[in-house]
Amino acid sequence: MMLIPAAIFLLVRQQVLGKQPYEEVFSILDNFIVGAATPADKLASAFMMCGRYLWVLIFPHPLVCDLGYPQLKPVGWSEWKAIAGFLTYAGMFIWAILNIGKKHFLSFAILFYLIGFSLFSNVLILIGTSYGERLQYIPSLGFVFALSWAICKLFKINDLNQIWNPNGKSTLVWGVAGALLALYSLKTITRNTAWYDSASLYGADLPNSPNCAKLNYHNALEVTKNGLDEKTGNVTDKEQVEKGVAAYTRTIELYPEYHDAYGSRGLAYFRLGQYEKAFADYQVAIKHRPNDAKVLSNMGYIYFMRNELDKAEEVYRKSILYDPRFVDARRNLGAVLAMKKNFPAAIEQWKEGLKYEPNNATLLFYIGSGYRDMGQPEKSGEWFERAYAIEPGLRK
């Protein structure tokens, strides 16, 4: 009966995803398996990770949220871990199928685990990550079934009606079960502190996955954020931001094409007032990802500071081309156009921004200023008043 809703869900999923105007492509940073040279190597890499998933259920230490590239890299069938993973899972599956007709409890436990894990294994379909311990949450119930069965077999418990004092060995049986429960619970409780927030998670896991570029990048984001004012973006702790720069640099060393790392390091340099270094990083980021609207906008601000208005207008227009809803880029593009005395075009950009942020006081104020500066003060008043109503501090 459960196959019916499962089939309906998969059908709906296929219909929705099939109508996307693009094919989803995963980066090697998301899933290192996509970097495998051949389908055979992809399968070998997937089974290597399947083995790790199973091992971490048995012995959950150390735990880590990401083991991405280049901490782990694709392997072929010459890797013993890939062979071990394949033989283990193939053996489990064959044994479960051969015994399912006997209604063997262990067969049920194995199939529960395999079916629950299959969607995340990268064997049947490639997903957006090569490793995530959290993905074992549902499959782990199958492991618990199997562990409980093993305890029963170890102490030859066949009559479940006598479970509280099986074969007169209650102290021994529940001592073993209690010890396992205590150990796994202790690991869970101590691990919970790492998941308090993003900063604590990345800080706790980086020592266990020091060469994972994505983990280094997200740690760098958190380190940098601790040195900035959350609302204004101004530097509150220069040393902390410099530590963030060093963390971004480490990320780039691990993966020299990491465009997000270049863009974020560039922003950190910008916050530190090191504009030439920021601009150099932005250029590299755009080289690897030409359609990065945020980086293009950041470049536009530096051009604006240099009074290179034509170049600033060019990159701002590219920014809104790739992300028409990017209000900051539209606001700044309007400012550039106003500096060039093209007030109608500037006002057009600001009004376009209001479609996405209708209560943006800065845009309302700029529109009022634009009408005033182009000699139409009768039109500016209503825009100024709307801006003052939202942000009284704009009234001077």
> Residue 122 in contact with residue 31, Cβ under 8 Å?
yes
- Locate 90 and state its tokens: 């193939």
Specify whether 46 is located in the same domain as 182.
yes
pLDDT tens digits along 346-367: 999 999 999 999 999 999 999 9
Specify whether 166 is located in the same domain as 315.
no
Specify whether 172 is located in the same domain as 42.
yes
260 closest CA partner among 294, 235, 237, 308: 294
Cα separation of 43 and 21, whole Å?
Answer: 28
- Residue 335 sits in a domain whose CATH number is 1.25.40.10
Produce one character per residue of 81-91: b if its CB has 16 or more CB atoms within 10 Å, e if not.
bbebbbeebee
Report the number of distinct structural domains present in the chain: 2
- Neighbour count for residue 288 (Cβ, 10 Å): 16
Parent domain of 316: 307-396
Which of 163, 191, 219 terminates a domain? The answer is: 191
Residue 299: C-alpha distances to residues 22, 231, 282, 338, 378 (Å): 28, 21, 7, 18, 36
Specify whether 169 is located in the same domain as 31.
yes
Q: Mind giving me the DSSP string for 25-50?
A: ---TTT-GGGG-SSHHHHHHHHHHHH
- Locate 209 and state its tokens: 């996955």
| 86 lies in some domain | yes
pLDDT number for residue 166:
66
| 108 lies in some domain | yes
| Average confidence score pLDDT of the chain | 93
pLDDT tens digits along 75-85: 999 999 999 99
Which of 191, 217, 243 terminates a domain? The answer is: 191
| 75 lies in some domain | yes
pLDDT tens digits along 118-170: 999 999 989 999 999 999 999 999 999 999 999 888 888 776 666 666 666 77
The stretches of the chain forming alpha helices (DSSP H) are: 3-18, 39-58, 80-100, 105-118, 140-154, 170-192, 198-205, 213-225, 238-254, 259-271, 275-288, 293-305, 309-322, 327-339, 343-354, 361-373, 377-390
Assign 232 a pLDDT band (cuts: 50, 70, 90): confident
* Cross-strand partners of 92: none
* Cross-strand partners of 228: 235
| 114 lies in some domain | yes
Which of 191, 213, 229 terminates a domain? The answer is: 191
pLDDT number for residue 218:
97
Average pLDDT (39-52) is 97
Amino acid letter for position 32: F
| 105 lies in some domain | yes
| 257 lies in some domain | no
- Locate 124 and state its tokens: 């049947």
Q: Going by C-beta distance under 8 Å and a sequence separation of 6 or more, which residues neighbour residue 299?
A: 279, 282, 283, 286, 315
| 21 lies in some domain | no
| 252 lies in some domain | no
Residue 86: C-alpha distances to residues 1, 89, 90, 128, 278 (Å): 30, 5, 6, 21, 47
pLDDT tens digits along 172-222: 888 898 999 999 999 999 999 999 999 999 999 999 999 999 999 999 999
| Secondary structure (3-state) at 60 | coil
Cα separation of 47 and 55, whole Å?
Answer: 12
